[in-house]
Amino acid sequence: MNKVEEFLTNNCDKKSTMKSYRSHLTNFFKVMDVDPDKYFDNGRDYDADIMTFWRSLGNYTPCTQVARMSCVKLFFEEYDIILSNKTRKKLRRKLKGKKPATIDVIPTNNQLKKILSHGEAKAKALGLVASSSGMRSDEILQLTEEDIDFDSDPVKIYVRAETTKTRTARITFMSNEAKESVLEWLKERDQYLQSAIAKVGGITAKSPDDDTIFCFTTTTANKIWNRLLDKSGFNERDKTTGYHRMHFHVLRKFFETRMSYAQVPEPVYQQLEGHEGYLSNSYKRYTEKELADAYQKGVKSLLVFETQPDLTDINEQLQKKDLELKKQSEDMHDLKMQLLELRLTVQELKNGKN
């Protein structure tokens, strides 16, 4: 086993992470122009190498830069390569504050309806599960029928620990319209899988024994979504990164904003989404009933195809008005304090004359 594969085996639990790390390290050794297995035998200047690699990433987005540098540093640590304090400080300064460069656009309910209307059963089911559950794409693509309680109200999803980013199991829910779309997709799912395997002559990561509901890869899921954006006309790209501004991951943000508009407490929907902080003991862990009740309160704001008003603009205007009223209240308080001080000053002057 070569150095890279040894590192991946020791540090990657998920196939998607292993794929990303392998890509990052391939890029590193390509820049270094050296065989990975001979890299540590040549008495190299590791500080100079990692700074050279950093400079080679200038045309990549900030997120990609951070991901590739983090991977290489972890690779160094695996083989006891310690960078100098000067280099570590320099890298911290360069990496500090790196933010996603793409300016996201979160669809309204009506916009999402127009997007998904251009999709077949699998596309509609994928979009509705993502937008109504707050799950990550990797988590959705590893769901099996056993993970979903279709008879519960609301429909409960058990997100297994091995499929999550935090390695912590949790529950979340999905809307009834998402449930119906999944059941429709399941009628076609087996035939789709057989066709996909036959199309590539059996050379595929999927197998006839695959029991996932969405039996395709993350790459395929993104292609499905991007085709919907092209067909619906919502395919605007960020001028800096070239990525779609309404990319698939914004459906998690759709979930967050709609639950917020419905006045569902932030810790509740953050726990449903699986944010690490809200799964720790530092925050209250809500019971399943508390989560279900809160979800029921907010689920109407997540609906796309069922008849319901799109209150996005109204909620945004109300929030703006709330901020204006708060500012006016603060200004009024300041004015009252100024008047009080003025009265005291006048009173002191009168007392002085007397």
Confidence (pLDDT) at 202: 46
Rounded Cα distance between 134 and 269, Å, is 8
Confidence (pLDDT) at 203: 45
Per-residue pLDDT of the chain (354 residues; tens, 9 = 90+): 688 888 888 888 777 788 888 999 999 999 999 888 888 887 789 999 999 999 998 877 777 888 888 899 888 888 888 888 888 888 887 776 555 567 889 999 999 999 999 999 999 999 999 999 999 999 999 999 999 999 999 999 999 999 988 888 999 999 999 999 999 999 999 999 988 888 765 445 567 889 999 998 888 899 999 999 999 999 998 877 778 899 999 999 999 999 999 999 999 999 999 987 655 554 567 899 999 999 999 999 999 998 555 555 666 676 777 778 777 877 777 777 777 777 766 666 666 665
Rounded Cα distance between 63 and 20, Å, is 13
User: Quick check: 213 and 189 in contact, CB under 8 A?
Assistant: yes
Handedness of CA 282, 284, 287, 290 (dihedral sign): negative
The whole-angstrom distance between residue 344's C-alpha and the CA centroid of its chain comes to 56
SS3 of residue 169 by DSSP:
coil
Confidence (pLDDT) at 197: 82
Confidence (pLDDT) at 177: 96
